[in-house]
Structure 1
Amino acid sequence: MIKRKKLICIIIALVAVSVITVGVSAFSGKSKSKSSIINMNKVSVKVVKVSTSSVTSNASFNASLEASEEGTISNKVGGKVTQVSFENGQSVSAGQALIKLDDTDIRNNIKSSEAQVAAAQAQLNSSESSANSSQIGINKQQTNLESAKRNYDRMKALYDQGAETKVDLENAETQLKNAQTDLQTAKANAQSSSLSAEAQRANIQKSQTDLNTQRESLQNTIITAPVSGVISGKNVTVGQYISPGTVIGKVENISSINAVIEVKDSDLSYVKLEAKAKFKLSSEDSKEYDGVIKSIDGVADPQSRIFKCKIQIDNKDGKLKPGVFGKIKIVKDENKKAITLPLKALGGSKGKYYVFTNNNGAAKKQNITVGEISEDTVEIKSGIKDGDNVICTNVGTLQDGDAVKAAE
């Protein structure tokens, strides 16, 4: 009986120990589970320690691209198109033949003008020969007049002395008058020949001018590229008749290209001639082109009060095209002191920006004011200070007071 009681007590003791052991284990498991849950609720974040440093301050402008040089393809003479030697997008050199017009009529006109010049030249030669003969006649009549004058003077002297008759004196006087008349006639003939020669010279000049015009028109039947560049706006086909001045297309020189921006008066402190600039087709584009400011309007637009500025960009590879938009970046200050953060640390919207700081393991929401925003950084003007640990991941999902854990 006593042995049986001892056995029961031993069993009860063993049961009690088992219960205690199970209870302790269960309590320990619950503690570990609660701790694990707490750790799992902490958001793993990356932080940046804030510090003021020297940064380069840039200004960004919307830009549109245009050719640095543009020439219109047009014709000076009318005619039927017999040949077209270009297509849109083709690169051409200045002076390169692009279009041929029918030149049959012009060539016939040239032959006619050449014949007119030759005929006028022959008439001029005849008039000049006549003028030369007239001059010889004048010299001869001048000699005859002088001889007749001397003869009359001698006869008059003899007649006054009674040594010659009145008839002889009258004959000498008649010869003198005839010589005077002959001289006047010779001079009139010479003047007429001279006027005829002048008229023929004027005729030759006119005919030669007409001939030169026709020859120039012949040259203009070949229409060439006004500048070197790429052709666009083709507006002509073979067989078409085009009138003088028809716009057939245009040539744009894009070996260097201009980025056109609009700036305010306040921007002119750093937007200056020969200042360097950077161009990108978009903020996401990794390719950046170097540019130099080449021109700034001297007068602002009276309506918008802005100045147009052109930045010249090297484009030898031809990848940049006129009419495309992009962004121009110009340095404002290379040694500006400021607090900057990665752009991804910024939350909110314009006028209501904020960041989260790691405040001893808790996310703390801080309202801030921002300055310049670039492609991947933002200037912070107020709201945080040097030494603050700013969270730069999971910003969109964090709430004020969330438990956070800074990633290694």
Structure 2
Amino acid sequence: MLRRKRSLCIMIILVAACAIFAFKSIVLDGMKKEASVVTTNMNKATVKVIKAKTDTVANSASFNASLEASEEGTISNKVGGKIVEVFFEDGQSVSSGQALVKLDDTDIRNNIKSSEAQAQLNSSESSANSSQIGISKQQTNLESAQRNYDRMKALYDQGAESKVDLENAETQLKNAQTDLQTAQANAQSSTLSAEAQRANIQKSQTDLDTQRESLQNTIITAPINGVISGKNVTVGQYISPGTVIGKVENISSINAVIEAKDSDLSYIKLGAKAKFKLSSDDSEEYDGVIKSVDGAADPTSRIFKCKIQIDNKDGKLKPGVFGKIKIITDENKKAITLPLKAVGGSEGNYYVFINNNGVAKKQNITVGEISEDTVEIKSGIKDGDSVIYTNVDTLQDGDAVKVAAE
């Protein structure tokens, strides 16, 4: 009886030990599985994806550009003199005709007074010419004497007048002829004198007009609307005619100048639209229109200079600044484009990662046009591919990934 009880106790102990061992195995196996799941989830990279899709894109070409004023005027003087006032500073906006510099005009004003006095003197010396009146009077006297002589001659021939009366009539006729000749000579002399006087008057008036014009030119004005630069004068300075005082640049519209090859001229056309940016990272973009294209290439560089006119009424763009011009080359091109940040690698060895059911698959690609934030994919990607565009630099081929909710 005692032996049976001992055997039963041993069996109970063995069953309990087996049960405890089985329970521990189940718990440990569950913990291992849970740890494995946690570890797997921790190794998954969270990424964002974009579906590749063929679409119509505007193909474009990019050029380095330098900015210059659309119009430039030189400030210079027509007369020499001493500067007594300066009304401008560099960077100042001015209007066409606005006074910028005043020269000393004392000498010119004195010359004007002298010329005005001379003109008045010459004018007063010129009186109304009465020579023609004298000729007309003598002509009338001659005609009267001729009629009187003819009448006396007829009466004398009839014996009705004496020889003395006829001779008196003849003398009057000769005197009338002499007086007419004298009047004609005087008239000719008066004509010559009047011509000389008119020439003197004209010269005096010309001198006066010249002096008055010089007086106006002592005020130097802005040649065009714009902003002044290159100030080159100070008060008290003596300047000779033609001195460059500064320049005025019209920047209400500004030109972006680019250099193009012969092959670029197929799409660089007058009136074509363009876009300008100060840099690739600049968010602000300016609209432009192709204004001019050189008719011939530079004989040394074989390039054509082209100007793109950009509206600049706010004055933000300045001459001498560099930037980028983009010109559309084809508005109806079909292509897949991706965000630039989705592409890794370097020229000739570009790649992307495709999300292949939670696994990052590295895919080599060839690219076309690259713009500021997008890239054209020429091969390696097809419509519908789920392309990863975040964490590209840290991913490896075969990495587990988890797509973040948008």
Paired position in structure 2 for 1:381: 378
User: Which amino acid in 2 is paired with 1:121?
Assistant: S
User: Which amino acid in 1 is paired with 2:400?
Assistant: A
* Cα deviation 1:129-167 (Å, max 9, x = unaligned): 4x41x333433444555567678888999999999989x
Paired position in structure 2 for 1:72: 74
The answer as to whether partners of 2:294 and 2:306 remain within 8 angstroms in 1 is no
Paired position in structure 2 for 1:202: 199
Provide the alpha-carbon RMSD of the alignment. Answer: 3.5
Paired position in structure 1 for 2:238: 241
Query: How far off its partner does 1:215 sit?
Result: 0.8
User: Percent identity at matched positions?
Assistant: 75
Q: Secondary structure at the match of 1:353?
A: strand
Mapped partners of 1:334, 1:136: distance in 2:
89
- After TM superposition, the structure 1 = structure 2 runs for residues 66-145 of structure 1, keeping only pairs within 5 Å, are 66-125=68-127, 129=128, 131-132=129-130, 134-143=131-140
- After TM superposition, the structure 1 = structure 2 runs for residues 159-238 of structure 1, keeping only pairs within 5 Å, are 180=177, 182-238=179-235
User: Is 2:399 the counterpart of 1:397?
Assistant: no
User: Is 2:58 the counterpart of 1:56?
Assistant: yes
User: Which amino acid in 2 is paired with 1:89?
Assistant: G
Mapped partners of 2:86, 2:25: distance in 1:
100
Mapped partners of 2:298, 2:270: distance in 1:
22
User: Is 2:366 the counterpart of 1:352?
Assistant: no
User: Which amino acid in 1 is paired with 2:293?
Assistant: D
The answer as to whether partners of 1:296 and 1:307 remain within 8 angstroms in 2 is no
Mapped partners of 2:10, 2:349: distance in 1:
77
257-266 or 5-14: bigger deviation: 5-14
Mapped partners of 1:292, 1:248: distance in 2:
33
Paired position in structure 2 for 1:259: 256
Mapped partners of 1:309, 1:302: distance in 2:
12
User: Which amino acid in 2 is paired with 1:46?
Assistant: K
The answer as to whether partners of 2:69 and 2:251 remain within 8 angstroms in 1 is yes
Mapped partners of 1:154, 1:32: distance in 2:
163
Paired position in structure 2 for 1:285: 282
Query: How far off its partner does 1:103 sit?
Result: 0.9
The answer as to whether partners of 2:102 and 2:219 remain within 8 angstroms in 1 is yes
Paired position in structure 1 for 2:369: 372
* Cα deviation 1:335-367 (Å, max 9, x = unaligned): 322111111111122233222223344333322
Paired position in structure 1 for 2:337: 340
257-266 or 374-383: bigger deviation: 257-266
Mapped partners of 2:319, 2:311: distance in 1:
13
User: Which amino acid in 2 is paired with 1:297?
Assistant: V
Mapped partners of 1:138, 1:233: distance in 2:
71
Mapped partners of 1:402, 1:191: distance in 2:
120
User: Which amino acid in 1 is paired with 2:73?
Assistant: G
Mapped partners of 2:397, 2:139: distance in 1:
128
Query: How far off its partner does 1:331 sit?
Result: 3.5
Mapped partners of 2:308, 2:56: distance in 1:
27
191-200 or 303-312: bigger deviation: 303-312
Q: What TM-score, normalized by structure 1, do the two folds share?
A: 0.83
User: Is 2:304 the counterpart of 1:302?
Assistant: no
User: Which amino acid in 1 is paired with 2:199?
Assistant: A
The answer as to whether partners of 2:298 and 2:304 remain within 8 angstroms in 1 is no
The answer as to whether partners of 2:340 and 2:373 remain within 8 angstroms in 1 is yes
For structure 2, the residue ranges without an aligned partner over 5 or more in a row are: none
User: Which amino acid in 2 is paired with 1:404?
Assistant: V
Q: What TM-score, normalized by structure 2, do the two folds share?
A: 0.84
Mapped partners of 1:382, 1:173: distance in 2:
129
The answer as to whether partners of 2:67 and 2:321 remain within 8 angstroms in 1 is yes
